[in-house]
Structure 1
Amino acid sequence: MKLTILRAIYFGNNVAVEGEIIETGDLHGRELIQKGYAIEVENGHAEEQQEQQEQQEQQEQQEQQISSSNCSAWQFYAVSRGANR
């Protein structure tokens, strides 16, 4: 059973913090859910959505860097050709 931690807990000789995804047995997972320490991840969709969101953010950052570098290159070209005189 995959769970997303809502409150920090001691799990497997480590502290699992809020937002972390852990995998545990059904009985232990239901107990954590009942106590309000975690919620169930539905078929791993949350991980996939998070990965897709991170990829989209990276692509947007790359596009912004490219567009800003293109603008700088164009400005350099215009200045070197004397367009600002």
Structure 2
Amino acid sequence: MTDWRVEVPERLFEEFAHLSPGGRRAVHDVLERLTVDPRDPGSTTEPIQGAELRRIMTEPAADSGDRITVLYRITEPEASTEPGRISILYIISGP
């Protein structure tokens, strides 16, 4: 079991649908890394008070070469038996 759960809001489903298959795979791979360590060394902290916002970029998509930026918020577990939450806020795709 992972210590972190990824939550993707429905409003982003269409954004994911517009990604190439390789882009979706690249996002999947980076989210899988975040379930192990949401403070992945490849991520950066965004300066905002009251929440821990982070940003990470995917590797280039195999089919399009696009890199996708994922902005997410970390919420620590409320109890030792619960996983923490990684809430996806935005994704930005481009070359």
TM-score bin (small chain): under 0.3
Q: Which structure shows the higher strand fraction?
A: 2
Task: Compare CA radii of gyration and give the structure with the larger one.
Answer: 1
Normalization by structure 2: what TM-score?
0.22
Normalization by structure 1: what TM-score?
0.23
